[in-house]
Amino acid sequence: MDVLDRRDFLKTAASVGAGSLLARAVPFETAYAGTVHAKAGGFTPVAVSSSNGLHAAERAMEMIDSGADALDAVIAGVNIVEDDPQDHTVGYGGLPNEDGVVELDACVMHGPTGRGGGVAALRNIRNPSKVARLVMERTDHVLIVGEGALRFARAHGFREENLLTDEAREEWLRWKETMSTQDDWLPPHGMDEKDIGAVLEKRERSTGTITCLGLDRKGGISGCTTTSGLAFKIPGRVGDSPIPGAGLYVDNAVGAAGSTGRGEANLLACSCAIIVEHMRNGASPEEACLRACRRIVERTVERRLRDDEGRPLFNVRFYAINAKGEHGSASIWSGGTYAVSEGKGKTRLLDSAYLYRRPTK
């Protein structure tokens, strides 16, 4: 290998340094303005969301109809759910980690500029989607986690608050008190071992999340996925939602995909990037989502994660749009729906395709 002499090295270092300073000095809007290119037409603007995002899709589509960039629209859409204490899977009121602390994950991707940003294990800030957007726009990074993400949010003036509502705390406490008969946390008076056994039998830990995808009037495609993650997770656990390629992926020439459900499965299958690649190769959004479900089934070989027929004991759901504005969704297990909005008065829930029919109880 050639060794640079000191003068060449300093010259190279100086030019690289100047380049990176220049890159840092260009704000997002300026960078974006140079890359906007309206598509030739032949597409229908649309917003799609997971089933908990009916209002999110509606809000996103209202903004798209009034000329907003799809990124602004999808973030405004998911903010409704992040702010809603009744949704225990996202933002304020989300179920906490095993220590009773709410930790949030989110990412955004902006198709026209090919940029993205995310935050993970973020505490005390109810709108991680907004912080993810600032990671994209105001840093040269893609993902900031934990204490660093909180400090970054503080630097941008976000207000800190306790995200654990009483309802979520009580659910966490029930979980903790019925975890084992061998520890010192006692369930409410009157519950015996049999009752606890019944609770444990039925126990499902939530992996709900919201994803919202939008195609705007200029042909720009963007997406956002945001979540409180797996309920009662080990502190610091990061799911698929803040990871571009896993819980969200956008390619402006092709389309976008987002996901809800067991994040570990998506992380190991890179599902959303794969869905976009299936659409690039001609698959419809629904077929691309179904293929991602099959990929997860094929990759789930651990016995503890499969039922007696070899099917996953968990669910994963996918949502996708293509550059024409066609949309689709699929999940491993039946019973899923997704939200679509194509304009005022045209917002509805549609059935998702699926691989396996859920056994009736």
User: Could you give the residue numbers annotated as active site?
Assistant: 209
Question: What does the alpha-carbon distance between residue 306 and residue 120 come to, in Å, rounded to a whole number?
Answer: 28
Residue 113 or 260 with smaller CB distance to ligand GLY = 260
> Does 103 help bind ligand GLY (rule: CB under 6 A)?
no
Residue 50 or 252 with smaller CB distance to ligand GLY = 50
Residue 64 or 210 with smaller CB distance to ligand GLY = 210
Residue 226 Cβ, how far from ligand GLY at the closest point, in Å? 10
143 three-class SS? strand
Q: In a 10 Å sphere around its CB, with 0-12 CB exposed, 13-18 middle and 19+ buried, how is residue 247 labelled? A: buried
Residue 175 Cβ, how far from ligand GLY at the closest point, in Å? 17
Residue 260 or 352 with smaller CB distance to ligand GLY = 260
> Does 82 help bind ligand GLY (rule: CB under 6 A)?
no
How far from 229 is each of 8, 76, 109, 233, 331, CA to CA, in Å? Answer: 49, 20, 19, 8, 18
Residue 46 Cβ, how far from ligand GLY at the closest point, in Å? 23
> Does 207 help bind ligand GLY (rule: CB under 6 A)?
yes
Q: Which stretch binds ligand GLY (CB under 6 A): 15-23, 175-183, 250-258, 261-269?
A: 261-269
> Does 49 help bind ligand GLY (rule: CB under 6 A)?
no
Residue 335 Cβ, how far from ligand GLY at the closest point, in Å? 17
> Which one among 51, 113, 252, 260 touches ligand GLY, defined by CB under 6 A?
260
Record the tokens describing residue 203, joined without a space.
């126990």
Query: Phi/psi at 255 (nearest 5 deg)?
Result: 155, -160
Helical segments of 120-187, H only: 128-138, 146-155, 166-177
* DSSP letters for 231-284: TTPPTT---STTSBTTTEEEETTTEEEEEEE-HHHHHHHTHHHHHHHHHHTT--
Among residue numbers 214 through 253, which ones bind ligand GLY (CB under 6 A)? 227, 229-230, 239-241, 247
Residue 31 Cβ, how far from ligand GLY at the closest point, in Å? 30
Total binding residues toward ligand GLY, as defined by CB under 6 A: 13
Residue 130 or 262 with smaller CB distance to ligand GLY = 262
Only one residue has tokens 């400090």, namely 151
Q: Which stretch binds ligand GLY (CB under 6 A): 12-20, 31-39, 163-171, 254-262?
A: 254-262
Residue 262 or 278 with smaller CB distance to ligand GLY = 262
Give the torsion sign (CA, 261, 265, 267, 271).
negative
* Helices 54-65 and 70-82, packing angle to 10 deg: 150
> Does 209 help bind ligand GLY (rule: CB under 6 A)?
yes
- 280 C-beta neighbours (distance < 10 Å), count: 15
CB 291 within 8 A of CB 269: no
CB 195 within 8 A of CB 201: no
Can you give the binding site for ligand GLY, defined by CB under 6 A? 207, 209, 227, 229-230, 239-241, 247, 260-263
